[in-house]
């Protein structure tokens, strides 16, 4: 039995979809714990490609239960579209459960997100425009609409009447936008409520029950460590907590019930939206990574910014999430390069630093210190064992493991399931846990 968190070690889009899909095969339950329809993964079913934003891809396995936890924000319009798409393909959604205490993204959230980005001008964050920040802001401000509110028509009418009139003032006076019609919105959302009602439960209780029955649970993080509201590159972050700790808060589960944390990192780095990115590369090389890696967002189609692997960020992600191991994805994207750079440390104010600075202004001034590695100039996409990899590729992976101070358990060399090297079982292999400064493992956590 193992309860595992899978989390992005960079700025999101690390290829979590494929790794989660691989691990979902041995999971009985897959749970989303934060974020909303800003996330997205592409799945292919019977030769048909479509995009899921909220429903975990575990839904493709007939016996896997999928849950959308209380820390997520739910856009009912998008969720219902996903349900319809899946059902049209003959994929049952009866194993989906939605937390009754998750917050709901409303039309005014989307409008405010887009309008406020426009108003920020050069200070914009580069959000996905899906209303994520304003939904979480209402949650903190305690004016949010929760799924359980949707399920109560009389209460909802009253609550939304007040809220929409309040938001209309903001839409009109601050953003010069047309007013929303409360009646129209209320009727629309009452319709959504009836469609979603069969899925709505207390997911925290369901998860606890699954743990007591020794089920294997996979907690699927959306976005990535550096987009975390508290631990990422604030303010250029999302409004939730993708880090491993967020899985407990976002599902209603105690930390003692988590067995493993698996990090996912690309063999290089990408970022969408604004904000500092020390190892970003422009020009021809940036173009090569973007094209070979098909670096365009699933949700917005935006071109991702590309850069070299940043081991300072990697080490930081290992620390912040307590990662046991890493999965390195898209190694094959580097196949044709003559040389590959790896950022081993930063230069900040003329001094070398191995650590990610928590001060955003300092981070913006960091200059990467690179070590240049030789490329392997041959295709790796058919390799299925470490032994089959070219020596330079293996040396590159060993170097990343050494720098991030964590073992690499999985290497991904392409989009398909079989283009994968399983170095060690990420769930049942040796547990890393905490190392004391003298290098000995903390006894409680050692394997
Ligand atoms: P928001 O989550 O839409 O508010 O966007 C905030 C920041 O997070 C922006 O820089 C987005 O580009 C980024 N972001 C949000 N979701 C994702 C994702 O799934 N992958 C990568 N970046 C994301």
Q: How far apart are CA 377 and CA 382, in angstroms?
A: 14
* Ligand 1 centroid, distance to 127 Cα (angstroms): 6
Contact 423, 409 (CB under 8 A): yes
Predicted pLDDT at 446: 36
Ligand 1 atom closest to the CA of 302, numbered from 1: 12
Do residues 246 and 32 touch, judged by C-beta distance below 8 A? no
Check pocket membership of 227 for ligand 1, CB cut-off 6 A.
yes
Element (H, E) at 3: strand 3-8
pLDDT, residue 269, reads 98
Q: Is the CB of 117 under 6 A from ligand 1?
A: no
Best residue among 40, 42, 238 to mutate for probing ligand 1's pocket (most ligand atoms within 8 Å of CB) is 238
Count CA atoms within 13 Å of residue 280 on its CB side. Answer: 14
> What is the rounded CA–CA span in Å between residue 2 and residue 104?
31
Tokens of 420: 């994968």
Residue nearest to atom 20 of ligand 1 (CA): 12
- Direct distance between the N- and C-terminal alpha carbons of the chain, in angstroms, rounded to an integer: 15
Separation of alpha carbons 137 and 144, rounded Å: 8
Query: Rounded to an integer, what distance in angstroms lies between the CA atom of residue 167 and that of residue 176?
Result: 12
> Does residue 131's CB lie within 6 angstroms of at least one atom of ligand 1?
no
Phi and psi, residue 132, nearest 5°: -65, -55
Name the 3-class secondary structure at 89: coil
For residue 110, the cross-strand partners are: none
Containing 271, the helix (H) or strand (E) segment is: strand 269-271
Question: Does residue 133's CB lie within 6 angstroms of at least one atom of ligand 1?
Answer: yes
- CA neighbor of 143 nearest in space, from 162, 117, 124: 162
Q: Which of 117, 127, 277 to mutate to test the pocket of ligand 1 (most atoms within 8 A of CB)?
A: 127
Catalytic residues: 13, 41
C-alpha to C-alpha distance for 288 and 336, rounded to whole angstroms:
9
CB distance 112 to ligand 1 below 6 Å: no
**At 239, phi and psi to the nearest 5?**
-100, 15
Residue whose CB lies within 8 A of the most ligand 1 atoms, among 36, 117, 273, for a mutation test:
273
Is residue 420 within 8 Å of residue 22, measured between CB atoms? yes
For ligand 1, atom 19: residue with the closest CA: 39
Closest listed residue to residue 170, CA positions, set 124, 220, 125, 106: 106
Q: Is the CB of 56 under 6 A from ligand 1?
A: no
Residue 15: both structure tokens together: 């290829």
The CB of 128 under 6 Å from ligand 1? The reply is yes
Q: How many Å lie between the centroid of ligand 1 and the Cα of residue 221?
A: 13
pLDDT tens for the chain, 447 residues long, are 589 999 999 999 999 988 998 898 889 999 999 999 999 887 776 777 778 999 998 898 899 999 999 999 999 999 999 999 999 988 999 999 999 999 999 999 999 999 999 999 999 999 999 999 999 999 999 999 999 999 999 999 999 999 999 999 999 999 999 999 999 999 999 999 999 999 999 999 999 999 999 999 999 999 999 999 999 999 999 999 999 999 999 999 999 999 999 999 999 999 999 999 999 998 999 999 999 999 998 778 889 999 999 999 999 999 999 999 999 999 999 999 999 999 999 999 999 999 999 998 899 999 999 999 999 999 999 999 999 999 999 999 999 999 999 999 999 999 888 899 998 887 777 666 556 667 665 544 333
Tokens 């990662």 found at = 323
As beta bridge partners, residue 43 has 50
């Amino acid at each position: 039995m193992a309860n595992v968190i899978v989390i992005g070690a960079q700025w999101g889009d690390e290829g979590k979809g494929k790794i989660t899909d691989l691990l979902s095969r041995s999971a009985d339950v897959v749970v989303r714990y934060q974020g909303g329809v800003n996330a997205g993964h592409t799945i292919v079913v019977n030769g048909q490609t479509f995009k899921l934003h909220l429903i975990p891809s575990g839904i493709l396995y007939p016996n896997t239960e999928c849950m959308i936890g209380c820390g997520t924000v739910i856009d009912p319009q998008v969720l219902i579209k996903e349900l319809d798409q899946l059902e049209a393909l003959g994929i049952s959604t009866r194993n989906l459960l939605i937390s009754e205490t998750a917050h709901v993204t409303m039309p005014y959230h989307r409008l405010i997100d887009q309008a406020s980005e426009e108003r920020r001008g050069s200070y914009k964050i580069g959000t996905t425009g899906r209303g994520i920040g304003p939904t979480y802001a209402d949650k903190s401000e305690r004016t949010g609409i929760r799924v359980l509110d949707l399920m109560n028509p009389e209460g909802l009418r009253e609550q939304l009447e007040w809220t929409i009139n309040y938001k209309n003032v903001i839409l009109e006076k601050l953003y010069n936008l047309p007013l929303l019609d409360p009646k129209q919105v209320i009727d629309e959302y009452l319709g959504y409520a009836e469609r979603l009602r069969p899925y709505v439960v207390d997911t925290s209780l369901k998860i606890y029950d699954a743990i007591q029955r020794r089920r294997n649970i996979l907690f699927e993080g959306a976005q990535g460590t550096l987009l975390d509201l508290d631990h990422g590159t604030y303010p250029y972050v999302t409004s939730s907590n993708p880090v491993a700790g967020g899985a407990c808060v976002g599902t209603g589960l105690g930390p003692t019930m988590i067995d493993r944390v698996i990090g996912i990192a690309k063999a290089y780095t990408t970022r969408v939206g604004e904000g500092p990115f020390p190892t970003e590369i422009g020009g021809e090389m940036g173009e090569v990574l973007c094209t070979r890696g098909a670096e365009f967002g699933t949700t917005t189609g935006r071109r991702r910014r590309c850069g070299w692997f940043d081991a300072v960020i990697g080490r930081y992600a290992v620390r912040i999430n307590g990662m046991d191991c890493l999965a390195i994805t898209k190694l094959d994207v580097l196949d044709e390069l003559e040389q590959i750079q790896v950022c081993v440390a930063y230069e900040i104010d003329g001094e070398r630093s191995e650590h990610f600075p928590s001060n955003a202004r300092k981070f913006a001034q960091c200059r990467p210190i690179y070590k240049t590695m030789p490329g392997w100039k041959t295709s790796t996409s058919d390799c299925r064992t470490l032994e089959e990899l070219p020596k330079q590729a293996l040396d590159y992976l060993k170097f990343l493991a050494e720098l991030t101070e964590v073992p690499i358990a999985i290497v991904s060399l392409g989009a398909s399931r079989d283009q994968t090297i399983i170095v060690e079982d990420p769930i049942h292999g040796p547990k890393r846990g905490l190392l004391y400064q003298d290098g000995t493992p903390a006894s409680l956590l050692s394997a």
